[in-house]
């Protein structure tokens, strides 16, 4: 497990460089990392440890990206969070693998219980633009008793739960090596 945690940053380094380039492109008007309908998933299986990191524009998961002001918005955020807090169901991990959640963390400005402390910055158009592009990040770590039973990673429940998600760009590191693939609702599973 330590080996995975130490090697994962090195394995994902090319992705970080590409992401930084995407962010730079996004700032200058071309399509970048924050594209509505598109999420990203980094997955790594090392021994009995499965690590998943899902990143998505909030628009894909809750239908908006602004700070919650109405009860309806708050309910949408709470519903999305409840789904994200059940990763075994969300990622449809096979029961035969015996995976248990060791750690999970959800991050988004939409999950804050209090309004953004920088609200007075909203007057500035640059900050307004920044606030209009909220993302949701979910980090999960599982321990799987029988990792050989993890033959595929099925993302169908993500597409079913969050229908505004049209595509997930996946980077997968597993026993067969590293692969990158775009997954859609019509082809929602990939092999480890």
Average pLDDT (171-184) is 93
Which has the higher per-residue pLDDT, 171 or 125? 171
Tell the burial category of 127 from Cβ atoms under 10 Å away from its Cβ (0-12, 13-18, 19+): middle
Average pLDDT (55-84) is 93
Average pLDDT (21-47) is 67
pLDDT for the residue numbered 26: 37
Per-residue buried b or exposed e for 74-109, using 16+ beta carbons within 10 Å of the residue's own CB: eebbeebbebbeebeebbbbeeebbbeeeeeebebb
pTM (predicted TM-score):
0.74
Average pLDDT (23-41) is 61
Average pLDDT (46-53) is 97
Average pLDDT (103-131) is 59
As separate numbers, helices (DSSP H) first and strands (DSSP E) second, the chain gives: 6, 8
pLDDT band at 34 (very low <50, low <70, confident <90, very high): low
In the chain, the number of structural domains is 1
Q: Tell me which residue range forms the domain holding 62.
A: 2-112+121-191
Task: Report residue 164 as tokens.
Answer: 């505004």
Average model confidence (pLDDT) across the chain:
80
| 133 pLDDT more than 60 | yes
Which has the higher per-residue pLDDT, 142 or 151? 142
């Amino acid at each position: 497990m330590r080996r995975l945690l130490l090697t994962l940053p090195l394995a994902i380094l090319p992705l970080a460089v590409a992401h930084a380039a995407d962010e730079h492109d996004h700032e200058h008007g071309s399509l970048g990392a924050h594209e509505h309908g598109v999420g990203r998933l980094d997955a790594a299986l090392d021994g009995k440890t499965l690590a998943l990191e899902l990143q998505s524009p909030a628009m894909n998961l809750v239908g908006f990206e602004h700070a919650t002001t109405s009860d309806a918005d708050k309910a949408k955020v709470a519903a999305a969070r409840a789904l994200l807090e059940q990763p075994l169901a969300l990622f449809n991990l096979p029961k035969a693998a015996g995976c248990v959640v060791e750690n999970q963390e959800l991050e988004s400005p939409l999950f804050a219980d209090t309004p953004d402390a920088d609200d007075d910055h909203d007057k500035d158009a640059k900050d307004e633009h920044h606030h209009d592009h909220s993302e949701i990040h979910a980090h999960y770590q599982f321990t799987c008793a029988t990792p050989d039973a993890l033959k595929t990673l099925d993302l169908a429940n993500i597409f079913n739960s969050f229908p505004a998600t049209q595509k997930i760009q996946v980077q997968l590191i597993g026993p067969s090596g590293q692969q990158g693939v775009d997954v859609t609702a019509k082809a929602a599973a990939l092999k480890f």
